[in-house]
Every structure is written in structure tokens, then in C-alpha cells.
Copies of this chain bind each other. A is one copy, B any other.
Amino acid sequence: MINPILIPELRLMLAEQDDQGLIEVTTELHPATVADFTEGLDTDETWRVLSHAPLAVQADIFSYYSNSKQDEMVHGAGRQRMSALLEEMAPDNRVDLLKRLDESVVEELLPLIAKAERQDIRQLLSYPEQSAGAVMTTEYASVPDDITCGEAISRLRLQAPNNEMIYNIYVLGSDRHLLGSISLKSLIMARPNTLVSEVMESDIVSVQVDEDREEVANKMARYDSLSIPVIDASGRLVGIVTHDDVMDVVVEAATEDAHRMGGVSPIEGDYLETSLQRMWFNRFIWLSCLFLTGSLTFSVMQHFEGLLKETAVLSLFLPLLLSTGGNSGSQAATLVTRAMALGQVQPSIWKRVLRHELAVGLALGLSLGVMGFARTMLVGEETLDKVNGWHLSMVIATTVAVICLWGTVVGSMLPLIFKRLGFDPALACSPFVATLCDVTGITIYFSIADMYLTLP
């Protein structure tokens, strides 16, 4: 978020070399606020303002910049400064940045970084995106199980300045095996000579390093914890995911789902900052696929050309009927997709979902069918031409009911099928379901019409 209010003052301070003022601005405000105020400066000015704060603070401020601002600052004259900053940044923020940069830039930056940090970076970079390993940080507070609470507090005093999250402390056995956790609160409340192993919580929830990050978010939301430990296949602690990173995951996942449900390839970053080309591409990909699929409706319509020419009034109802099918389908798809995202529904219970949706779909179909019947009875003689009004009303009522039931069933089952096949269930929402419902809806409509209107 750019906040331009201080830009003139900051430029003035730079021009007047008001170091004292710049030190105050950069160190006394919240790093996020400093980031907002300086986002609007150019790269060189930003580096000059930042240089007034200690490296650790600079790293904090930097992590609050927008992605595009961060990328700019790495290039050009910033490279040398950047390598110093990278050593100070929290491991997870650092890896997020490096993942976005060109490989060539990363390769230039890495040699400038201390060896220990470099290994940590290479390790974190190697975890697949969307996994717990990719969002975790390796800066956690830990103590062995065989010391006293008093000793533990002394050790924490030494660890704390480097650790993002010291309120959950992990208790490790030999070979870094995770034995339990203890909150700073209970460590402080405990008598100093109690053993850590006596007060620690040993029934703790952890995640595997390759587990999906949304699964991590669900577990953390369920257990209301500040951080969750990440372990490898043999139960060794490799990192933690903290509450603020999980919040980012939840917000990002909701945006991704919303975009997919609206028929756009997910767009990361700020809406207004995204280039027109990218915007066009992410939307065109979908629209053109939907257009091609939608072309099927033309072929289906062609199939019923004869009936259409004979009974022109049928085409007047087409948009209404198709949108009803699409709407009921997207309702069902949305509900099931969201329920899956919240962990309430899994593909394995598809039979229960189907029973549920069959009942709702039937009720919806019948009630909308009645409305369709009433609407058709209002059509004037002139428009009806030679068609019997009662027959037509029955055609519309039956079609509305069947299309609605069909849309509901397709809409509820598709996300489950997508999930089972390993696709994102949100893909099955709105536009995709709507197009599928269109194609099938036309067939349903004209088949029913053909049946009724040829009645004596």
C-alpha cells in the first residue's frame, strides 16, 4: 500500500542530510508503516532512507514492500546491499523473495551470503511450492528435554533475538526428534527447578514437511496455536509455520479459489499492479476455452433445428432456462467446494452429498417449476402461434424442474470428481459448470419439447 503523505518530507530530509530525522522515522514507527511511507520513493532514495535503520529493521521493513517494489530493489545498485539484508531476513520471507527472482539474479546473490545461511536457503528453496516446507521458517526456539525450566529460560534469552516465535518452545530429544512443546507462559509459571520434560505438552499436533499448506492452515485454525511444528519423515523437527504465515496462506488460498470460481487463472499480487498483458492472458485462456466448449451448444442446437423452425416460441425461453440450470449448478458447486476447503466434505462421502443434493435439487426444481408454469401461462396468443398454451406450460415447467435438478447434481458432484482426480475443485465452479449445464440443458429442453408438443 503506497502512502504518499510523507514523500516530500522524506525527500527533503535526504536533501538536507537530516540523519537524525531519518533514524527516527525508520526506527520508531512500525516496519509496516515505514514500508507504506517509503513505497513511493524510487529505488535509490529507498535504499538511502533504509540505510538509517539497523540491518534487522531494514530486513523487516523490506518484507512489507509489495512484490514489485522488492524485485526492483534487488536490481542494479541494490545488489550489494541486498545480500547483507538477506542474511538478516527471516528465512521464510527470504525464500519467498528468492523464489520470485530470476535464477540468474539468485545465483549472483547467493555467493555474497554467509555459508550457513546459504545452505538453509538452498534447502528451503528445494521444497515444492504450496508445501509446509515452503512456508515454514527455520528460526524456532528449542530446548533439550533434560534441563530445568530455569535453565530453559536462560537459554531462551540467548536464542530469542534471532527467533521469530519464542512463545511456543519445542522440546527436542536426541537427533532433533520432536518430543513435545512448552509455552513460554507455562515456562514462566513453572517452578525454576522443574524439569522441562515434566511440564511439556507431549500430545502435540505437527505437520509433515511435504503436507499441503492449506492442510497446515486447517490444522492451525482447528487448534488455535501460534505456531505448528514441521517434521520430516523420521520425526525430526525441521521448522515451524507461524500464525502470520498461515494467515497469508488462508488469504492467498481464498483469493485463488475466488479467482478460479470466477473463471480466471489465479492472479498473484495487487489487482491494479498486474500488467495488462498478464491480465489479458489469464482471462483469455479461460474465456477462449469456455468459448470453445460453449461452441458445443451450437452443434446441439443445430441438431434440433427442425423443431426450432417449426415452433419458434421455444427459442424465446432458451436464455431463461439455461441461466436457471447454470445458477442452480453454480450454487451447488460453490457450497460443495467451500465445504471441501473447510474440511467438512471429502470425495469419499460423495454418496451422502449426492443424497443431500438430490433432495434439495428436487425441492428447488419443483418450486421453480411452478413458477415456470405460471410464467408460461401469461404468454399471449399471438406469440404462441399454433402451440397449445397448456402443453407449452407443461414443457417449460418440466424443463425447469429437470434442468434445476440436473444442474444441482452436476454442480455438487463435479468438485468432488475434480478433487479425486487431483485438480483444484474450485475449477469446477461457476463458468465450467455453467457451460456444461448449457450444453446438456439444451438437450433436455428440446427433448422434452419434442415429446410433449407431438402429443395429440
Taking residues whose C-beta sits less than 8 angstroms from the other chain, chain A's interface range is 35 or more
Contacts of A255 in B (CB 8 A): 338, 342
Nearest-Cβ distance from residue A402 to partner chain B, whole angstroms: 15
Indicate if the CB atoms of A272 and B222 lie closer than 8 Å. no
Asked if A263 is at the interface (CB within 8 A of a chain B CB), the reply is yes
Contacts of A338 in B (CB 8 A): 255, 258-259, 262, 271
Asked if A226 is at the interface (CB within 8 A of a chain B CB), the reply is yes
A294 to B160, CA, bound (A): 62
Asked if A367 is at the interface (CB within 8 A of a chain B CB), the reply is yes
Contacts of A352 in B (CB 8 A): 272
Indicate if the CB atoms of B334 and A259 lie closer than 8 Å. yes
Contacts of A429 in B (CB 8 A): 262
A160 to B322, CA, bound (A): 61
Asked if A30 is at the interface (CB within 8 A of a chain B CB), the reply is yes
Indicate if the CB atoms of B364 and A330 lie closer than 8 Å. no
Indicate if the CB atoms of A276 and B331 lie closer than 8 Å. no
Contacts of A349 in B (CB 8 A): 272
Selected from B166, B316, B317, B371, the residue in CB contact (under 8 A) with A185 is B166
Spot the interface stretch: A39-47, A50-58, A80-88, A430-438. A430-438
Indicate if the CB atoms of B189 and A167 lie closer than 8 Å. no
Assuming the contacts A247-B246, A318-B315, A319-B318, asked whether A259 and B364 have C-beta atoms less than 8 A apart, the reply is: no
Contacts of A224 in B (CB 8 A): 32, 244
A250-273 residues at the B interface, CB under 8 angstroms: 250-251, 254-255, 257-259, 261-264, 267, 270-272
Asked if A70 is at the interface (CB within 8 A of a chain B CB), the reply is no
Contacts of A334 in B (CB 8 A): 258-259, 261-264
Contacts of A292 in B (CB 8 A): 371
Asked if A106 is at the interface (CB within 8 A of a chain B CB), the reply is no
Contacts of A327 in B (CB 8 A): 263, 286-287, 290, 431, 434
- Chain B residue nearest to A218 (CB atoms) is B251
Asked if A142 is at the interface (CB within 8 A of a chain B CB), the reply is no
Selected from B244, B248, B344, B363, the residue in CB contact (under 8 A) with A280 is B363
Assuming the contacts A295-B375, A342-B251, A434-B326, asked whether A279 and B360 have C-beta atoms less than 8 A apart, the reply is: yes
Assuming the contacts A330-B431, A364-B280, asked whether A189 and B160 have C-beta atoms less than 8 A apart, the reply is: yes
CB-CB nearest 7 A-B residue pairs:
A262-B334, A271-B339, A254-B254, A224-B244, A297-B319, A315-B315, A301-B316
**A interface residues (Cβ-Cβ under 8 A, vs B):** 1, 28-30, 32-33, 64, 153, 156-157, 160-161, 166-167, 184-185, 188-189, 201, 203-205, 220-224, 226, 243-244, 246-248, 250-251, 254-255, 257-259, 261-264, 267, 270-272, 276, 279-280, 283-284, 286-288, 290-292, 294-295, 297-298, 301-302, 305, 308-309, 312, 315-320, 322-324, 326-328, 330-331, 333-339, 342-345, 349, 352-353, 356, 359-360, 363-364, 367-368, 371-372, 375, 383, 400, 404, 429-431, 434-435, 438, 442
Q: List 14 A-B contacts (CB under 8 A).
A: A28-B203, A167-B184, A243-B243, A254-B258, A271-B336, A271-B338, A272-B344, A272-B349, A280-B360, A284-B364, A287-B327, A287-B331, A294-B319, A323-B431
